[in-house]
Amino acid sequence: MNQDVHKVRTFEHPGEGRRRAKATPKGRQVDPVAAEEVKQLLGDRPRRRDLLIEHLHLIQDTYKQISAAHLAALAEAMRLSFAEVFETATFYAHFDVVKEGEPDIPPLTIRVCDSLTCAMLGAETLLADLQSKSGPGIRVVRAPCVGRCDTAPAAEVGHNFVDHATVANVLAAAKAGETHAHPPAYIDYAAYIADGGYKLLRRLRSGETSKEDVLKALDDASLRGLGGAGFPTGRKWRAVLGEPGPRLMAVNGDEGEPGTFKDRYYLERDPHRFLEGTLIGAHIVEASDVYIYLRDEYPAAREILERELAKLPPDGPVLHMRRGAGAYICGEESSLLESIEGKRGLPRHKPPYPFQVGLFGQPTLINNVETLWWVRDLVEKGAAWWTAQGRNGRHGLRSYSVSGRVKNPGVKLAPAGVTVRQLIDEFCGGMADGHSFYAYLPGGASGGILPASMDDIPLDFGTLEKYGCFIGSAAIVILSQQDSVRGAALNLMRFFEDESCGQCTPCRVGTEKAVKLMERPVWNQQLLEQLGQAMRDASICGLGQAASNPLTSVIKYFPDEFKDAAE
């Protein structure tokens, strides 16, 4: 053995007379000013791990950013490691984390949506103009879909949305300090009660209406989950009830799919119909607590719910509001559960499924906002009423979020199975002036793209799959001859690249690679199809599995888009 090395080793051995260095605290030191500020913000709020994202929102709302000092102070207050707090804060787009040595973020942020419908209606030019004209103290950044596709282009000034945004009206809102959303008129608790609201819930709780009565109505009507997956609602409720208690319930109000805005529409107009459906579901599965997870892009809906929840009688399950923070992936049910628990929204591997091992490890019922919104009407009016609706051999009603090149975009309550041509002509006032129908997205960003020649397909569950598409949450985006479907597919793939959680390689690397290939003037179609197949086969969750649907649709159904490309 080398003698010098031996000497060093024996010198370092305890008892060799080494002088101990003065003890100093290890790790990041907490700034006392930041610690006091965090203490004042939290007040008497619990310091539980699952409230981490809520506490991060407090800091972000107060200081318009989150400094490293505040992160360290929050970590100490919650008895968490700095790494846990940092990785959670930096996962979500709406937390502006300022690292040590970086300049402060301007006090006002303007976000311009650049997802498909807004992009079609001029978002790129709007973003560039605002960035050049906004002036000091204002930061202008792009944002993914904000759920206002019917009033595109949309911009967010602070937490206030400007519809049909222009440079003039956005900067006017900023100058006037209009940075908070104002809820529209809606049916409040008193009005809802006066119209027979909560009678079904009272009958259910008293035993006048049995659990089986409700479940049979859901089964007979074949109500399916309206968030995108379409799983039979009655079967899901029975599955959760079949698991040993205690049980919980979570509401998925994180509709972030470009083109989708129906949940916001219902929450901002008739929130108690949704709340009654939620409480009925909780009673059926005997859930002690209900967690309502609402995307951060819906501040008006959040204010309405918080206001109306305070008016409910104190009986029944405990209702918790949870605020998203700008992560599309949290619309995936297991990612949503992770976020409610205060963590990064990384999808869980399945099985076990959430109805078996869900929120905080307990069996959990997860439903979409609109699914619950229909429960009261369906049970009170009966399954026969529901199944009597529909066209082209389909049954029920659908809330189609329609945007793009139509005269009257918006949420259209129409018979399930209506075709896109019927939807445009009968419910949207026809195509916008100067535009002719060219293509459409039948199911939002991940539902594929079809040509106008295929305008006779019933828009419903199970009708689009053979074409490589699906209805999803019924988000219909209409393109005209002025739009490029290749450009649309690239816009959607960029969205998926940004929103990938990064957990699995097929999605993380696949979306990035696809964007680079699709940005080229000539597409390598064979390579793109192989890449899409790998993503479908190997991604953990639906984001990566469905991200390639638009691109494969364009290759399959729009050969003319490639006709003039040089080989």
SS3 per-residue string spanning 422-443: HHHHHHCCCECCCCCEEEEECC
Q: How confident is the chain (567 residues) per 10-residue block, as mean pLDDT?
A: 39 45 63 97 97 98 97 97 96 95 94 98 98 95 97 97 98 95 96 98 97 97 91 96 97 96 98 98 98 97 98 94 97 97 96 97 97 97 95 95 98 98 98 98 96 97 95 96 97 97 95 97 95 96 94 95 63
Handedness of CA 16, 19, 23, 27 (dihedral sign): negative
Size (the chain), residues: 567
In this prediction, residue 27 carries a pLDDT of 62
Check residue 446 and report its DSSP letter: T
Helix crossing, 52-63 with 32-42: angle to 10°? 110
Compute the Cα dihedral for 188, 189, 194, 200 and give only its sign.
positive
Using DSSP bridges, classify how beta strands 437-441 and 475-480 pair: parallel, antiparallel or unpaired: antiparallel
pLDDT the model gives residue 230: 87
- Mark 220-244 as b/e (b = at least 16 C-beta within 10 Å): ebbbbbbbbbbebbbebbbbbbebe
SS3 274: helix
**Predicted local confidence at residue 564, as pLDDT:** 58
Instruction: Please give the order of strands across the beta sheet that includes 155-157.
Output: 138-143, 108-113, 155-157, 160-162
Residue 535: Cβ-neighbour burial (10 angstroms; 0-12, 13-18, 19+): buried
CB atoms < 10 A from the CB of 451, how many? 18
Question: Alpha carbon 6 to chain centroid distance?
Answer: 61
- Number of Cβ within 10 Å of residue 3's Cβ equals 7
Which token pair is 124? 């790129």
Closest CA to 159 of 35, 61, 235: 61
CA dihedral 369, 371, 376, 380 (to 10 degrees): 170
Q: What is the reported pLDDT for 565? A: 54
pLDDT at 305: 98
- Give the C-alpha separation, 482 to 120, whole Å: 9
Radius of gyration of the chain (CA): 26
Q: Which two tokens stand for residue 310?
A: 């305070």
| Cα angle for residues 189, 191, 194 (degrees, 5° grid) | 110
Q: What is the token pair recorded at 321? A: 């509001």
CA of 110: how far to CAs of 143, 157, 168, in Å? 9, 5, 13
Provide the pLDDT for residue 13: 41
Check if the beta carbon of residue 236 is closer than 8 Å to that of residue 225.
yes
SS3 percent helix, strand, coil of the chain, rounded to 5, is 45, 15, 40
Question: CA 347, CA 326: separation in Å to the nearest integer?
Answer: 16
| Beta-strand relationship, 247-253 and 364-368 | parallel
- Give the closest residue to 69 by CA, choosing from 17, 23, 104, 121: 104
Which H/E stretch holds residue 498? helix 485-499
| Residues 43/49/55/59 CA torsion (nearest 10 deg) | 110
Longest CA span, the chain: 92
Q: Which residues make beta-bridge pairs with 415?
A: 397
Handedness of CA 355, 294, 375, 427 (dihedral sign): negative
